[in-house]
């Protein structure tokens, strides 16, 4: 089966072509991404109307590039299924991709399946070149850290997901962005803090890991963000210059506090739910320290571990195409362009 995937949930216009062979081998033939990060950076976050305008301007060009790289000359003859993100995401951005996908499906008489963007992130683990789908055993515990989402998802089978823990306020990615702004680093904050933290001493300014000792599997990051704010306020009040080293030390402490609760709760949940594997996914899964520490913790526990290749950690259409394949296998009857609507607030039950 050949799937055309379309992703416009936030600030990346992405289209991919993916093949799944009879033996379940997955081949990404193209995965084109047009990022708007530089346009939104001056605003310190994504502006929905601007994102929608850029998607509309770029989506035809991205499609042409994806088809060319994949060697697809005729969608009608060479593509079996179209998959598009229908939520969660920014409404103005989602509607551009959905309208475009509907037009393609109608024009070429193709089934169209709506894809849950967050399930796409989870399935990004299947895109690893070393991933052996035949060896997968359920249940799988997924630590999903992307955009406004910080969630622990128990996957009991393909297309069977259960939410067992989530953030009660800020997501970890949002906290990274906000603390980066406090430190004057810019946007997006995750990569900037991670890089700065490499030069820092995490013990110089200890910061708390909220809810790390709570018995549930929920998270909270508003308190950590506030602690960083108060730390910076107190330093300024004592006339201490916020030089590069102090900023690096604060970044290191913040990153340690933010990640420690993720790792500890993931391991505890894996034990409680008898997980047969631990998966990491989402944009924050690109964080090198998180990848290293969670892998080490899973290995120490004796549980198989997977994380996406760096190319698939951010928003991309290859993961949407693959998630579309699994959704179509589960229920092909609903793959109709006439009935697909966006769901900006889509979430796990």
State the Cα–Cα distance between residues 200 and 245, nearest whole angstrom: 7
Is 324 assigned to a binding site? Answer: no
Is 190 assigned to a binding site? Answer: yes
Is 147 assigned to a binding site? Answer: yes
Is 331 assigned to a binding site? Answer: no
Is 224 assigned to a binding site? Answer: no
Please count the residues of the chain: 349
Is 177 assigned to a binding site? Answer: yes
The DSSP bridge partners found for residue 281 are 144
CB of 293 closer than 8 Å to CB of 246: no
Residue 184: CB atoms within 10 Å: 8
> Which DSSP string do the residues of 189-202 spell out, in sequence order?
HHHHHHHHHTTS-T
Is 281 assigned to a binding site? Answer: no
Give per-residue burial for 156-172: e unless 16+ CB within 10 Å, then b: eebeebeebbbbeebbb
What kind and span of H or E run contains 106? helix 91-108
CB of 14 closer than 8 Å to CB of 7: yes
Is 283 assigned to a binding site? Answer: no
Is 121 assigned to a binding site? Answer: yes
- Annotated binding-site residues for substrate read 144-148, 177, 190, 287
Q: Which residues are annotated as a binding site for Fe cation?
A: 117, 121, 315
Residues making up the binding site: 117, 121, 144-148, 177, 190, 287, 315
């Amino acid at each position: 089966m050949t799937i055309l995937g379309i992703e416009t949930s936030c600030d990346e216009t992405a289209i991919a072509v993916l093949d799944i062979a009879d033996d379940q081998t997955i081949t990404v033939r193209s995965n084109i991404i047009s990022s708007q990060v530089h346009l939104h950076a001056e605003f310190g976050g994504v502006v929905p109307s601007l994102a929608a305008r850029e998607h509309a301007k770029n989506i035809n060009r991205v499609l042409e590039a994806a088809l060319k790289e994949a060697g697809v000359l005729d969608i009608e003859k060479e593509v079996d299924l179209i998959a598009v993100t229908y939520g969660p995401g920014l409404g103005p951005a989602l509607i551009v991709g959905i309208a475009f996908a509907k037009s393609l499906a109608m024009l070429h008489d193709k089934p169209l399946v709506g894809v849950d963007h967050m399930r796409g992130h989870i399935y990004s683990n299947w895109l690893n070149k070393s991933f052996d789908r035949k060896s997968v055993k359920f249940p799988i515990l997924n630590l999903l850290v992307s955009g406004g989402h910080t969630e622990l998802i128990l996957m009991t089978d393909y297309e069977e997901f259960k939410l067992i823990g989530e953030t009660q306020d800020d997501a970890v990615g949002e906290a990274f962005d906000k603390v980066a702004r406090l430190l004057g680093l810019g946007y997006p904050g995750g990569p900037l803090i991670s890089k700065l933290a490499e030069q820092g001493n995490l013990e110089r300014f200890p910061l708390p890991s909220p809810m790390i000792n709570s018995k549930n599997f929920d998270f909270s990051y508003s308190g950590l963000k506030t602690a960083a704010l108060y730390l910076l306020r107190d330093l300024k009040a004592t006339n201490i210059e916020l030089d590069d080293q102090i900023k690096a030390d604060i970044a290191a402490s913040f990153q340690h506090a933010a990640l420690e609760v993720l790792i500890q709760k993931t391991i505890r949940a894996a034990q409680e739910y008898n997980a047969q594997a631990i998966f990491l996914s989402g944009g924050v899964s690109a964080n090198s320290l998180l990848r290293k520490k969670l892998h080490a913790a899973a290995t120490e526990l004796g549980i198989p571990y997977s994380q996406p290749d760096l190319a698939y950690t951010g928003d991309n259409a290859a993961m949407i195409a693959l998630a579309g394949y699994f959704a179509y296998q589960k229920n092909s009857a609903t793959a109709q362009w006439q009935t697909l609507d966006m769901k900006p607030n889509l979430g796990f039950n």
